[in-house]
Amino acid sequence: MSFLAAKDLQVGYHKRIVVDNINMDLNKGEILCLLGPNGCGKSTILKTITNQIELLNGKMTVMDKDLNSISNGERAKYMSIVLTERIDPAMMTAGEVVALGRYPHTNYFGKLTDNDLRIIEESLICVNGMKLKNKQFKYLSDGEKQRILIARAICQESDIMVLDEPTSFLDIKYKVELLNIIKSLALKKSKTIIMSLHEIELASKIADKVLLIKDGKIYDYGAPEDIITDEAIREVYNLDSGYFNTTIGNIELPKIEEEAKIFVIGGGGKASRIYRALNRRGIAFNSGILFKNDMDYNISLKLSNKTIAEDEFVNIREEKLEEAKELIKNCDLVIDSAVSLAGIGKGNYDLIQFAIEEGKRVLSLRKEDIGLGLINYNTISPMIHDVVEYLRLVKN
Amino acid sequence: MIQAANPDVILLTASMDENTLKMIESLEELGINWIGMNVNMENDPRGRLEWVKYVGAILDKEEEAEEFFERELKKIEEIENSTLESDGVKPKVSYVRITDDGYTVKNQGDYSVKMLELAGGDYIFKDLNPGKDGTLKISAEEFYKAAEDADIIIYENMGAFVGTMEEFLEKGDHLSGIKAVKEGRVWVTKRNYWQSADKAADMIKELRDIFTTPHGELEETEHYLLAK
Amino acid sequence: MKKSIRFKIVFVALVVFLAYTIMLNLVSGSISLSYKDIIDVILGNRIFTELEYNILFKIRIPRIISAILFGIALSISGFLLQTFFKNPIVGPFVLGISSGARLFVGLFILSNISIGFIESPLITIFLAAAVGSLLSMLLVLLFARKVDNISILVVVGMMIGYIASAGTDFMIAFANEHEIAALVSWSMGSFSGIGWNVLRLSAVIIIPTVVLVFFLSKPLEAYLLGENYAKSMGIDIKSFRLVLIILSSILSACVTAFAGPISFVGIAVPHIARLSIKTSNPKILVPALVLLGASFCLLADYFARTLFSPTELSISTVTSVMGAPIVIWLMVSRRKKV
C-alpha cells in the first residue's frame, strides 16, 4: 500500500516552474533516489518536499493525508531532513545537536525524558557517533558532522527522511558507511527515504525507485534496474565524450579512434587494467578473444577498437580465431594478459603461438614460463612503458 | 543672514574650537570684519564689565563706556564694603543645574562664584578646581552631600523652566532632604538671567539682598525668583 | 558529570560577583559606608543619619536597581539579536537601533506630542523609543535581505546611527534653548536621576519580557541550527522571527528611553557569558545573562561614579572601554578560525 505519494507536482520559485509533472509512489521502507545533472531541479524538488519552498501545484500525501494541510509541528513528526547547507552552531556539542531531533516530541520546555535520552543514544549508535557525543559540533570533520546530522534526523523518529546529497562531503569510507546506515534504516526501521545523489552507481545499489531528471522534466521513474541504462544516463547527463558503464557503475573515457597497432590477448578479469593504461596513454588497441561473461568484456567493448568475443562456456571457434589472427598480423605488438589457457581458453594459447610465429613481440604478465619466448613483466607499468617506447621508435 | 544685516563689524567670542574657526573663515571670505571679544574668560565680574570699554572704543563711545564702568564699579565697591563691614555669618551657597546626565556646578574660579563671594556668600564647592572657570558635572551623591549644609541653593535654569519648589523636587527624590529645601531657600534664575552681562553689579546687589534679607520677606528680584 | 559541575561553579561565581558589585555600589561614593556600618544598621546597633539615609535610599539604591534592570535588558536584547542574525558581533547599539530609538524620543520631546489616552509621559517616551527601535530594525532587515554578509549589516547599523545623529542635530538646530539642553543631556546615557516611577515602569516592561525569553528557550535552541532545520522541527519561522525582533526592541527601547543610549553591553555580555559557561543552551545562558548583565552594568556604574570623583563619567564611556576590547578580540579570534 502506498505510503508517500506525489501526484502531478509542480515545483519552482515565485510561479516559475522548475520541474513539472512529478509523480511518485513509495511504500513504507522504500528508498527513492533523485538523479540528474546539476541544475536539473533535484534540489528544488527536495526543498519543496521539505517545505522550504512552496509547492506550486499538485499534491503530496502521506497515507492519503495531504502534507500541505498539516501544521509545521505535525509535519515535523512525519518528516525529518538532512540538508547540504553547512550549519555552524556555536558552543553546541554533537550530542546537543542530536538531542534537538526530539523537538517535536518534547514538552513546552524541551525537557528530555529517559525515553528521549535512550532514543538519542540509539541514534548516535546507528551512525557510529557515540565517540563524538561530547565534542563540540563545530570542530568535527565534514564526515562526522554529516553523521551527526543524520543521527539528529533519526532521532526525530519520523517515518520519512529526506536527505539532500548526503554523500557529498564524504570520502569513500564514510560514503560506504552512510549507505549502510541508510539501507539499514529502510530495512530494519521501515523508514521511507528520499535522497538526491550525484553518484549514479550508488543509486543502483541502494534505491528502490529512481527519479531521473533532465532539464526540469522527469525523464523516467521506476526501479533502478529498469531505468538506469547506459543510454538513459548518456542522455540525461549529456555525455558526449565518454560513457557511463551502468553494469560496472563506472565512467569510461572514449576509446582512441586510431588504427590499432596493439593486440591484447585475453581477459579473464586481468585485461581491464591493461586497457585503461593503454587508453590513458592514447594508444589504440584491439582485443580478444574474450568470453561474453568475462568481466573484461564490457570494458573492452568501450575501450577497444575491435573486440573479438566468444559466447560463454563454449570452446573458441575457428572463425573467431581467424578474425583474431588477421588483426594480429596487422599489429606491431601483442600483449598477453596472463589469461587462463586451459580448457575453453585453449584458443588463446593458439593466438600467442601464432603471434610468435609471425615474429611479433609478445609482452606478457604471465608468472609461469610457457616456453614460447615471451617477454615477461611482473607489473603492468614497466610493460606499458616499453610499449610506449617501442611505438615511438616505430614511428621514427 | 549675517550678510543681509551688513554689519560694520562683528564681535566674536574667539576660541580655538572648530566651529568658531570655520565661522571666522566664512566671515573673512565674506569680507566682514570681526574682532575677538572674550568676555567669557574673565574670572571676575568686574573684569567682565570692563570689556564695555573695549566695545566703547570700537563704537567710538569711549566716554560713555568709561562712565558706565565707573558707575558699576562703584556699585560693586559699595556692596563689597558693606559686606566686609558686616560681621554676620556668611551664608553657604551653591549653584546647581540638574539635567538627565547629572548635576552641574561651577568651578571655584568662575566669575559667577566671584559674584556670589562679593555679595557675601560662601561657595560650598570652593575647593573645586580653584582658579578654573566653567562648570563641572558631579554625581547626585556628591552634590547632595555637599549641599547638606548649604543655606541657599541657586538653581540655574537652562532647560525646562523650574519655577516652583515642586518642579525642583521633581528633579530628584532625595532633594527634599537638603537644608535649603527644608528651609525654603531655593532660588531659581529667571529667564533674563543669561542676557544680563551688563547688569552684573545689579545682580550682585540682588544676591546681597537675598543673602541678607531675613527669610520670608523677599520672594523675587529682577533676576532671581524664590522657588515656592 | 563534568559539565554540570562546571555550570554550578560558574553560577555560584556569577551570583557572588553580582552580590559583590551590589555591595560595591552600596558602600562607595561621596560618603563611604563600610560593610561593617551596614551590618550594624541591620543588626540595630546603629541608625543612618539623614544624610546617609537619603544618599543610600534615594540616590544609590535606585541607581543600583536601574543598573541591574537595564543591564539585564541590554544583555538579553543583544542575545536575541545575536541569535537572530546568527552572529555575535551585533547588538542594539552597533545596529543603530539605539540611535533610531533616540531619534524618535528626540522627535517626541521636541514636538511635544502627547497621546491623549496615555496619561503618563513616561509611557509615551517608552513608546516613542519602541517605535524608533522597530523602525530602525526594519531598515536593517531590509538590508539584511539583500545582503548576506554580516559586516555589511554592521556598516548599515553605523550608518543608521549617523543618520539618526544627523536627524537629532537637525532638530536641535530648530529647537529652542531649553529643549536643546534636554535633548543633549539625555543623549549621553546615564543611570543618574532615575526615579522610582521610572524604575517601576521599567520593571513592569523588562521583567516579564525576560521571563518570556526564558520560556522561549526551546525554539531559541533549535534556531541555532539555522532556519531550515528549525522549520523542519516544527517552528513557525515567520512568527518566531517577529517575536525575536519585537522582544529585543522592547528591551533596548526601554533602556534607551529612560537611561539614554548605552553602548556595548548588548554585544559584550552575551559573549562573555557564552565563553565562560561554554554552552549555547538558552535555559542556562539566559539566567547567566541576567546575572552577568546586571553585574557588568553595576561595575561600569561604579567606575563611572568613583574614578574621577566628584565628577562623573558617562556610563557609555565606561561600558565602551570595558566592552570594546572584548568585541575587538571577538572579531580577531573569529578571523583566525576562518
pLDDT tens string A217-275: 889 999 988 888 888 888 888 887 777 777 777 777 888 888 888 999 977 888 888 99
Report the pLDDT value the prediction gives residue C15, as an integer from 0 to 100: 94
Residue C312 sits at the chain B interface (C-beta within 8 Å): yes
Nearest-by-CA chain B residue for C301: B139
Residue B157 structural domain:
87-226
Report the pLDDT value the prediction gives residue C211, as an integer from 0 to 100: 96
Which other chains touch chain B, taking contact as 3+ CB pairs less than 8 Å apart? C
* Total structural domains within chain B: 2
C-chain residues near B103 (CB < 8 A):
192
B-chain residues near C30 (CB < 8 A):
139, 141-142, 144-146
Show Cβ contacts of residue A348 under 8 Å, excluding neighbours closer than 6 positions. Answer: A265, A266, A289, A316, A339, A341
**B181 and B91 together in one domain:** yes
Tell if the CB–CB gap between C190 and B160 is shorter than 8 Å: no
Tell if the CB–CB gap between C218 and A109 is shorter than 8 Å: yes
Task: Find the helix packing angle between B45-59 and B62-85, rounded to 10°.
Answer: 170
- Determine how β-strand A160-164 pairs with β-strand A192-196: parallel
Three-point CA angle A353, A354, A357, nearest 5°: 90
- Suggest the residue from C192, C256, C306, C318 to mutate for an interface test with chain B (most B CBs closer than 10 A): C192
Tell if the CB–CB gap between B148 and C51 is shorter than 8 Å: yes
Category of C193 on φ-ψ map: left (φ > 0), alpha (ψ -120 to 50) or beta? left
| Cβ contact C75:C269 at 8 Å | yes
Phi and psi at residue A83, to the nearest 5°: -105, 170
| Cβ contact A316:A344 at 8 Å | yes
Rounded mean pLDDT, B100-113: 80
- The reply to whether A4-239 and A254-395 are identical in fold is yes
A10-13 long-range contacts (CB < 8 A, ≥24 apart) are A10/A55, A10/A56, A10/A57, A10/A58, A11/A41, A11/A44, A11/A45, A11/A47, A11/A48, A11/A53, A11/A55, A11/A56, A12/A44, A12/A56, A13/A44, A13/A53
Nearest-by-CA chain C residue for B157: C178
Report the pLDDT value the prediction gives residue B220, as an integer from 0 to 100: 83
Interface of C with B in 50-79 (CB under 8 A): 50-51, 53-55, 58-60, 62-63
| Cβ contact C95:C134 at 8 Å | no
**B159 and B107 together in one domain:** yes
- In terms of pLDDT, which residue wins out, C312 or A296? A296
Residue A92 sits at the chain C interface (C-beta within 8 Å): yes
Percent of residues, chain B, with pLDDT higher than 70:
89
Query: Which residue's C-alpha cell is 533535484?
Result: A42
**B117 and B205 together in one domain:** yes
- Suggest the residue from B174, B178, B192, B195 to mutate for an interface test with chain C (most C CBs closer than 10 A): B174
Please say if the pLDDT value at position C220 is more than 80: yes
A-chain residues near C280 (CB < 8 A):
89-92, 96
Rounded mean pLDDT, C263-284: 89
Regarding the domain delimited by C61-337, which CATH topology (the fold level of the hierarchy) does it fall under? ABC transporter involved in vitamin B12 uptake, BtuC (1.10.3470)
Tell if the CB–CB gap between C309 and B139 is shorter than 8 Å: yes
Report the pLDDT value the prediction gives residue C308, as an integer from 0 to 100: 82
Most confident of A240-249, B216-225, C59-68: C59-68
Report the pLDDT value the prediction gives residue C216, as an integer from 0 to 100: 94
pLDDT tens string A27-66: 999 999 999 988 888 889 999 998 888 888 888 998 888 8
Interface of A with C in 2-61 (CB under 8 A): 50-52
Residue A73 sits at the chain C interface (C-beta within 8 Å): yes
Computed over every residue of chain A, the mean pLDDT equals 88
- Determine how β-strand B152-155 pairs with β-strand B122-123: unpaired
Tell if the CB–CB gap between B144 and C51 is shorter than 8 Å: yes
**B137 and B175 together in one domain:** yes
Select the residue of B142, B171, B172 nearest C30 (Cβ to Cβ).
B142
Nearest-by-CA chain A residue for C1: A134
Compute the nearest-CA separation of C27 from chain B (Å).
12
- Grid cell, residue C28, equals 562607595
Compute the nearest-CA separation of C155 from chain B (Å).
27
**B122 and B183 together in one domain:** yes
C-chain residues near B150 (CB < 8 A):
none
- Determine how β-strand A375-376 pairs with β-strand B102-106: unpaired
Tell if the CB–CB gap between B174 and C314 is shorter than 8 Å: no
What is the count of residue pairs from A and C with beta carbons less than 8 Å apart? 74
- Distance, CA of C101 to CA of C164 (rounded, Å): 9
Report the pLDDT value the prediction gives residue A194, as an integer from 0 to 100: 95
Domain chopping of chain A, boundaries: 4-239, 254-395
Residue A83 CB-density burial (10 A; 0-12 exposed, 13-18 middle, 19+ buried): buried
Tell if the CB–CB gap between C224 and A109 is shorter than 8 Å: no
Grade residue B78 by pLDDT with cuts at 50, 70 and 90.
Answer: confident
- In terms of pLDDT, which residue wins out, A91 or C107? A91
**B98 and B197 together in one domain:** yes
C-chain residues near A51 (CB < 8 A):
231-232
Please say if the pLDDT value at position A140 is more than 70: yes
Select the residue of C50, C60, C314 nearest B101 (Cβ to Cβ).
C314
ipTM score of complex: 0.82
Please say if the pLDDT value at position C116 is more than 60: no
Cα-only R_g, chain C: 20
Nearest-by-CA chain B residue for C302: B139
Q: Is A106 helix (H, G, I), strand (E, B) or coil?
A: coil
**B100 and B35 together in one domain:** no
Q: Do chains C and B touch by CB distance (3+ pairs < 8 Å)?
A: yes
B-chain residues near C53 (CB < 8 A):
177
Compute the nearest-CA separation of C334 from chain A (Å).
11
**B160 and B142 together in one domain:** yes
pLDDT tens string B11-31: 767 666 667 777 778 778 877
Compute the nearest-CA separation of A22 from chain C (Å).
22
**B161 and B180 together in one domain:** yes
C-chain residues near B139 (CB < 8 A):
29-30, 192, 305, 309-312
3-state helix, strand, coil in chain A (%, to 5): 40, 25, 35
Residue A105 sits at the chain C interface (C-beta within 8 Å): no
What is the count of residue pairs from B and C with beta carbons less than 8 Å apart? 99
A-chain residues near C86 (CB < 8 A):
88
Tell if the CB–CB gap between A91 and C232 is shorter than 8 Å: no
Please say if the pLDDT value at position C148 is more than 70: no
Q: Can you give the three-state secondary structure of C188-204, one letter per residue?
A: CCCCCCCCHHHHHHHHH
Q: Do chains C and A touch by CB distance (3+ pairs < 8 Å)?
A: yes
**CB-based burial, B57-86: b 16+ in 10 Å, e otherwise:** eeeeeeeebeebbeebeebbeebbeebeee
Class of domain A254-395: alpha beta
Nearest-by-CA chain C residue for B105: C311
Tell if the CB–CB gap between B159 and C29 is shorter than 8 Å: no
Residue B150 sits at the chain C interface (C-beta within 8 Å): no
**B14 and B122 together in one domain:** no
**B108 and B7 together in one domain:** no
- Distance, CA of A104 to CA of A78 (rounded, Å): 10
Tell if the CB–CB gap between C196 and B173 is shorter than 8 Å: yes
Percent of residues, chain A, with pLDDT higher than 90:
25
Which other chains touch chain C, taking contact as 3+ CB pairs less than 8 Å apart? A, B
Please say if the pLDDT value at position C18 is more than 90: yes
Tell me, what CATH number does B28's domain have? 3.40.50.1980
- Determine how β-strand A333-336 pairs with β-strand A262-265: parallel
Report the pLDDT value the prediction gives residue C338, as an integer from 0 to 100: 46
- Distance, CA of C127 to CA of C105 (rounded, Å): 9
Please say if the pLDDT value at position C149 is more than 70: no
Phi and psi at residue C214, to the nearest 5°: -60, -40
Please say if the pLDDT value at position B1 is more than 70: no
B-chain residues near C186 (CB < 8 A):
99-101
Residue B101 sits at the chain C interface (C-beta within 8 Å): yes
- Distance, CA of C226 to CA of C230 (rounded, Å): 6
Please say if the pLDDT value at position A7 is more than 80: yes
Q: Do chains B and A touch by CB distance (3+ pairs < 8 Å)?
A: no
Strand intervals (E) in B59-198: 92-99, 102-106, 122-123, 135-138, 152-155, 186-189
Please say if the pLDDT value at position B3 is more than 70: no
- In terms of pLDDT, which residue wins out, C215 or B225? C215
Computed over every residue of chain B, the mean pLDDT equals 78
Residue A89 sits at the chain C interface (C-beta within 8 Å): yes
- CATH code: domain A4-239 is 3.40.50.300
